[in-house]
Amino acid sequence: MPRDSSDRSLRLARWRDFGIFVVLGLLVLFFGATTRDHAFLASENLVNVLRQSAILAVAAIGMTLVVLTGGIDLSVGSVLSLSGMVAALLCRSIAAQGSPLADAARNSGSTALFVVALVLALGFAWGVGTAALITRLRIPPLIATLGTMSIGRGAVQWLTGGESVRNEFGGATWTWLTWLGGGSWLRVPGPVIVAGIVVLLGAFLLHRTVFGTWLFGIGCNEEACRLAGVNVRRIKSLTYGLAGVVFALAGVMGLGRQGYALPAAATGFELDVVTAVVLGGVSITGGEGHVLGVVAGVLILGALDNGLTMLSLQFYEILVIKGAVLLAAVALDRLLRRSAE
């Protein structure tokens, strides 16, 4: 069976897949031209954009999984904040142990690994719980995660009575942990390395595995998948669970980047994450999208944040622009889809 490459709708679909990279390129050129001394294009600044986008990239991969099933997880910001806080508190309680064993532990990387594993497990449990609300109690994802968003935000304030947690206790665990958000290796920032790995794993999972195929299938037609023997409930649990893991990882990265855990961290972050995902061409109703597009969406937002700040716009002005970008992305997507039909 020959492939009909001249098919117009296919061409349009491909344009939609890669058009986002054209937009990214134009944006970079625009900031290059408008910033003083082309400062935006300086290599340190470009690395900076990557570093600033890393946490968003990680969270956006998690959100992509969820949105592909036709769902959404608004609790992303809360989970980020909560997991960062739990990691910081764990570090503090490990440092507070006075025994020699704890002394040894305090100075080893494996304790940091243990802390990360614990926090990621917490993220997984959070996601599985969210999925249970959606699949067992049949609460629409938007409402279910609106609830968990509030619960998560409240919980993190409760944990510390609204205080932030700083590294006033020393210990290698903290240092290792913060490498994820603030360190670097061969002059590549740690968060960029982590984000790269997450993106590659996400791309593999979505586009090369049975799980990924089912995920797309569920987003397109859940009932058909169920009748074809796909365990929809389990796939959804796993999806929200994995998203939770990734959000928790982003939370630990955020802790590293900030240097302290703040109960109000990542407030409103869901806007950025959903914008990046939709900008990247993932259909908000599920079933369509590609990880590469999401990466481009993340970088566009990162470039906007960085470039607009360089052009000395205020954060509230940037917020308005980002909101408009989200709406424009969705509108463009609808228009292209209509002309493809």
Partner 1 sequence: MHALVGENGAGKSTLVKLLAGAIAPTAGRIVVGETSYAALTPTRSQALRIRVVHQEQALLDNLTVAENAFFGHEPRRLRLLPDRAAMRRRTQELLDELGVAIAADAKVARLTVGQKQVVEIVKGLAFDARLFVLDEPTAPLTPAEVARLCAVVKELKERGVAVLFISHRLQEVFDLADRVTVLRDGRQVHEGPVAGLARRDLVRLMVGRDLGNADESAPPHHPDRRLGAVRLEVRGLSAASGIADVSFHVRAGEVVGLAGLVGAGRTETLRALFAADRRTGGELRLDGRLLDPRSPREAIAAGLCLVPEDRKTQGAILRRPVGENVALAVLAGLARCGALLPGRVRALAAKFAARVRLKAPSLDAPVAALSGGNQQKVVLARWLAAGGRVLLLDEPTRGIDVGARQEIYQALRDLSRDGCALVIASSSLPELLALTDRLLVFREKRIVGELTTAATSSEEVMQLAAR
Contacts with partner 1 by CB under 8 A lie at: 1-4, 7, 204, 208-211, 213-214, 216-217, 220-221, 223-231, 287-288
Alpha-carbon distance of 288 to 310, in angstroms, equals 35
CB nearer to partner 1: pick between 101 and 210: 210
Gap between the Cα atoms of 168 and 108, Å rounded: 18
181 or 286: CB nearest partner 1: 286
Return the closest-CA partner of residue 332 out of 297, 308, 291.
297
d(Cα 107, Cα 100) in Å, to the nearest integer?
A: 11
Least separation in angstroms between CB 101 and partner 1: 38
The single-letter code of the amino acid at 274 is V
Residue with smaller CB distance to partner 1, 305 or 333: 333
Contact assessment for residue 306 and residue 52, using Cβ atoms and an 8 Å cutoff:
yes
Least CB distance from residue 242 to partner 1, whole Å?
13
Least distance between partner 1 and beta carbon 233 (Å): 9
Integer-rounded Cα radius of gyration of the chain:
21
Q: With H, G, I as helix, E, B as strand and everything else as coil, classify residue 4.
A: coil
| Closest CB 225 distance from partner 1, rounded Å | 7
Give, in order, the Cα–Cα distances in Å from 249 to each of 72, 197, 339. Answer: 18, 12, 39
- Cβ at position 203, least distance to partner 1 in Å: 12
User: 208 or 334, CB closer to partner 1?
Assistant: 208
Give the residue with the Cβ less far from partner 1, 222 or 270.
Answer: 222
Select from 298, 282, 204 the least CA-distant residue to 17: 282
State which H helix or E strand residue 185 sits in.
strand 184-185
Min separation Cβ 211 and partner 1, Å:
6
CA distance 207 to 288: 11
Which CB, 166 or 337, lies closer to partner 1? 337
Nearer to partner 1, 56 or 230 (CB): 230
On the 0-12 / 13-18 / 19+ scale of CB atoms within 10 A, 232 is: middle
Torsion of CA 215, 234, 131, 54, to 10 degrees: -50
Smaller CB distance to partner 1: residue 76 or 218? Answer: 218
Question: How near is the Cβ of 209 to partner 1 at its closest, in Å?
Answer: 5
CB of 65 to partner 1, least distance (A): 15
Contact 54, 194 (CB under 8 A): yes
